[in-house]
Amino acid sequence: MTGTKFSGQGWNIVGFSTLAIGAMMTVIFLFQGIDEAGMRMAIRATARTSCILFIAAFVAAALRRIWSNTYTAWLLKNRRYFGLAMAVSHTYHAIAWTGLWFVTSGHSPQFGVPAILGYVFLAAMTLTSFRRLANLLSQRVWQILHTTGMYYFWLAFTVEFGLKLTQSPLIYLPFFSLLVLAMLLRFLPVNKHRKLAS
């Protein structure tokens, strides 16, 4: 399988995600309307796309450590681009939240400190994903920023989807389970002699 080639690489992942999520939001607004119901649906949808893209970036190194094959090599190689695609998705998410604020005349939502801090992390991590800005930080500071940010987003997604399990278990249980599994994979000890390879 070492000769397998993937068409999705690098910035193509970010570009495809941008177009696909943008198209998804357009369809939601066309069929649901640009009103409170439409904005809330867009918020829920973009939260889920952000979660999927986040998980791909979050587990890339762990999966490569556990399973050494073509697919995990591809995922690790493109981890940065999945992270940037998640930033795009969460920007759409912010647009939907802002839209909800406008259509409800400022009555909803109430932006709390956790949400604001999440976007501060997102902005800092996105900007320092580019070499020129990353070089302004020491390697240690960069590592602390990105590691802390990743765990913050993991906690935010896990708590948010966990709270919604009783409302829509069929929708949120798969996301919640993937998030728990992702964390377990990051801390799973690996015996190098038993490491799976392609």
pLDDT band of residue 138 (cuts 50, 70, 90) is very high
- Count of Cβ atoms closer than 10 Å to residue 194 Cβ: 7
Is residue 194 domain-resident?
Answer: no
Are the C-beta atoms of residues 90 and 44 closer than 8 Å to each other?
no
Compute the chain's Rg from CA coordinates: 18
Structure tokens at 157: 């997604």
Is residue 118 domain-resident?
Answer: yes
At residue 7, the pLDDT reads 59
Is residue 59 domain-resident?
Answer: yes
The CA distance from 94 to 109, in Å, is 11
Averaged pLDDT, 157-167: 95
Phi, psi of 196 (to 5 degrees): -75, 135
At residue 191, the pLDDT reads 57
Min mean pLDDT across 2-6, 15-19, 113-117 is at 2-6
Question: What's the structural domain count of the chain?
Answer: 1
190: which residues sit within 8 A by CB, 6+ positions away?
65, 66
Is residue 120 domain-resident?
Answer: yes
pLDDT digits (tens, 9 = 90+) for 77-133: 999 999 999 999 999 999 999 999 999 987 877 778 889 999 999 999 999 999 999
At residue 8, the pLDDT reads 76
Burial 76-88 (b: 16+ CB within 10 A, else e): bebbbbbbbbbbb
Averaged pLDDT, 161-177: 95
Is residue 197 domain-resident?
Answer: no
E strand spans, the chain = 67-68, 196-197
- Is residue 19 pLDDT above 50, yes or no? yes
At residue 110, the pLDDT reads 74
Is residue 196 domain-resident?
Answer: no
At residue 4, the pLDDT reads 45
* Matching residue, tokens 């493109």: 78
pLDDT digits (tens, 9 = 90+) for 183-193: 999 988 765 54
Is residue 1 domain-resident?
Answer: no
At residue 107, the pLDDT reads 81
Burial of 53: CB neighbours in 10 Å, binned 0-12, 13-18, 19+: buried
At residue 192, the pLDDT reads 54
Average pLDDT of the chain is 91
Averaged pLDDT, 162-179: 95
51: which residues sit within 8 A by CB, 6+ positions away?
157, 161, 175, 178, 179
**Structural domain of residue 44, as residue ranges?**
11-188
At residue 193, the pLDDT reads 47
Is residue 33 domain-resident?
Answer: yes
- Is residue 2 pLDDT above 50, yes or no? no
The CA distance from 52 to 124, in Å, is 20
- Is residue 5 pLDDT above 90, yes or no? no
